[in-house]
Amino acid sequence: MGRCAPDVAFVWRAVLTLGLVLLYYCFSIGITFYNKWLTKSFHFPLFMTMLHLAVIFLFSALSRALVQCSSHRARVVLSWPDYLRRVAPTALATALDVGLSNWSFLYITVSLYTMTKSSAVLFILIFSLIFKLEELRAALVLVVLLIAGGLFMFTYKSTQFNIEGFALVLGASFIGGIRWTLTQMLLQKAELGLQNPIDTMFHLQPLMFLGLFPLFAVFEGLHLSTSEKIFRFQDTGLLLRVLGSLFLGGILAFGLGFSEFLLVSRTSSLTLSIAGIFKEVCTLLLAAHLLGDQISLLNWLGFALCLSGISLHIALKALHARGDSAPKPLKGLGSNPDLELLLRSRGSSEQPVLGPGQRAGVPGGRQASLGPGRSGGPAALVSQQEQGVGCCSRSPGSESRDGDFREETVLSLQADLFIAWK
């Protein structure tokens, strides 16, 4: 009996991990293909993104209320100076990343979108070096060369290449580098209390909506106001179907961010990193099989070269984390463009017992936060144990999984978000 118990626990953990990975795949891959399908008949991607943001905000507000009722602890609410000065830059970059990504679906295939978004790690590394979040090493140069070379091979003589769509998604990848760098800097400010995904989504979405509105007003406002699908509708049934389709996309975007959070909180960021690589492969295979995307042998070789660069970066981060014997300031960014945030795993034995209304590391008894995702998705942020969402809090001993990393990197990408966060 003594030998059976560990086996049962191992099998249960394996089944749970597999289930969470499949759930993450469903939301991440699903929102990519769903947004592509929707933009074929609904040619207002910026309006679609803004509606996704509104849905995510509603769900995050509802989640905050439920957690507050169950825990009897007030959620964090930032002051206006902190909100505008510290959150606004991150929200604006995130809005542009997600908006341009969804906009590109009007012009390019899912395969080219997936490949180009994977190159966002280039810009993440570049801005990490600029903001001194990473140290320049020969291995990082090799990672950059592999990914850049793979992107060139994938787009070289592509039969379905569209320069306008490619420019949009490449611009989104560039802004994504700024986005995740600013996000890491935001999360490192412990006094803000935004380490949790639900609270982060709650604070980001309104500013993201406002940041995307001018772009929507210029490029889509007039056309949408004269469209029979929304404002000049004549068929109420058609209007309800369109709004229902847009609302479903928002649910997928929120689910993407939350599924990433579940996967990382129950396993580790390394698991999500590896799952993200296979997710890209699955996305390209499905795009070729379901949508008829034409991918040549040279394109596949370029894709493999890009994935090898991403895999090398993940391996380097894992080895670097294993070699750290003591906690140190967070450094470095994730390797996947849609949800890539750096977090520190928590050693429960090192945490003091907190009194009512107290939170470790935050002066003045500020409350912890729960908080947002490709699509709209970002994106997913992992909280410490006392900040977990109900069933998502880590069980005793879970900190030792996957090498007991002191630094964890949440990887994902998404069609946005973190929305897509994915």
Q: Which residue has the higher pLDDT, 45 or 233?
A: 45
Residue 387 has what pLDDT? Answer: 38
Q: Which two tokens stand for residue 227?
A: 């469209």
- Per residue in 130-180, pLDDT (tens digit) is 877 777 888 888 888 888 888 888 877 666 788 999 999 999 989 988 887
Q: Name the nearest CA neighbour of 149 among 288, 277, 298.
A: 298
What gap in Å lies between CA 59 and CA 52, rounded to an integer? 11
pLDDT at 94 over 50: yes
What gap in Å lies between CA 397 and CA 405, rounded to an integer? 13
Indicate whether this model's pTM tops 0.75.
Answer: no
* Domain parsing of the chain, residue ranges: 21-346+366-410
- Per residue in 326-367, pLDDT (tens digit) is 444 444 444 444 443 333 434 444 444 444 444 444 334 434
Contact indicator for 161, 342 with CB cutoff of 8 Å: no
Residue 249 has what pLDDT? Answer: 94
Mean pLDDT of 301-322: 82
Contact indicator for 406, 367 with CB cutoff of 8 Å: no
The number of residues making up the chain comes to 422
Contact indicator for 266, 392 with CB cutoff of 8 Å: yes
The H-assigned helical ranges of 188-227 are 197-219, 221-225
Cα-Cα-Cα-Cα dihedral sign, residues 214, 216, 218, 219:
positive
E strand or H helix at 343, and its extent? strand 341-344
pLDDT at 6 over 80: no
Q: Which residues pair with 343 in a beta bridge?
A: 408
Per-chain mean pLDDT for the chain = 75
